[in-house]
Amino acid sequence: MATIQAAIVTPALRELGIVDITATPGAELSALALSLLNRILDEWNAERGAVYADVHSALFAFTPNLNPHTIGVSGDSPTWAITGHRPVSIEGIRITTDNGETYLAPLTARDAAWWHARSSPGTTSAYPTDFYYNPTQPKGSIYFYPEPSSASVKAQLWYRIPLTVLALTDTFSMPPGYQAALHETLKEKLAELPMFASASSPVITAAATKARAIAFANNRPVPQFQTADLGLGGAGRVYRHETGPFSLLRHG
């Protein structure tokens, strides 16, 4: 596999005419392009559709009578340490119902308004039923209700994995479509700089928009719905909006 320099940076600079088609960009120019590339990734981390992978974490033990629990990289001394960056969002949390059991019960995700409306946020229980995630920086804050009171109960988190910072010598390793999306978006960002403004064109913007749409299309959830005879139980079909029916369910 090619490096970031060879796969993305050098081709972008050559195609814009910033360097000759056979030239190798100098260190300062490559560093400028890399800086833009990592800013692109930072912007994409804030967009749900740009992040291609989620993680279901290992089981974390609750610290009794602690609210909020914090999550982030180990250097920030959070309650729960993970690699990379603190989650941009937490899609779900489920907890073990007993120490050593494998059955996991999902909690209900809540927002700040719901948490603020709790008249007794200090209520405790071995088994929380709800959570609210506040993505504070550098470590996120997870508020549980009721407040967990048992260290034997554990939680598993479901969150998206942030796109990581790149180096020029890194080997490119991302899903199909992302090389084109990064390449075209880097060209777009370079052409927006005053020093390279002559390279800007609607064609570059259109190509970048199209490449991002292709790369991000697989990351967005597909809505599902179920149909049945009006007012009657029986067999119903579950539909995916993009692909049509794929299974039969019994309900009613």
Q: How many CB atoms lie within 10 A of CB 146?
A: 18
pLDDT beyond 90 at 83: no
Specify the pTM: 0.72
Task: Read off the pLDDT band of 245 (50, 70, 90).
Answer: very low
Which pair of structure tokens corresponds to residue 92? 């779900």
Give the Cα separation of 17 and 199 in Å (integer): 8
pLDDT of residue 222: 61
Summarize pLDDT for 40-49 with one digit per residue, the tens: 999 998 888 8
Share of the chain above pLDDT 70, in %: 85
pLDDT of residue 160: 87
- Please, are residues 160 and 51 in contact by the beta-carbon 8 Å criterion? yes
SS3 category, 185: helix
pLDDT of residue 233: 54
Give the Cα separation of 93 and 130 in Å (integer): 9
- Please, are residues 141 and 70 in contact by the beta-carbon 8 Å criterion? yes
Give the Cα separation of 239 and 227 in Å (integer): 8
Q: Which residues pair with 90 in a beta bridge?
A: 159
Largest pairwise CA distance in the chain: 71
Task: Read off the pLDDT band of 163 (50, 70, 90).
Answer: confident
pLDDT beyond 80 at 1: no
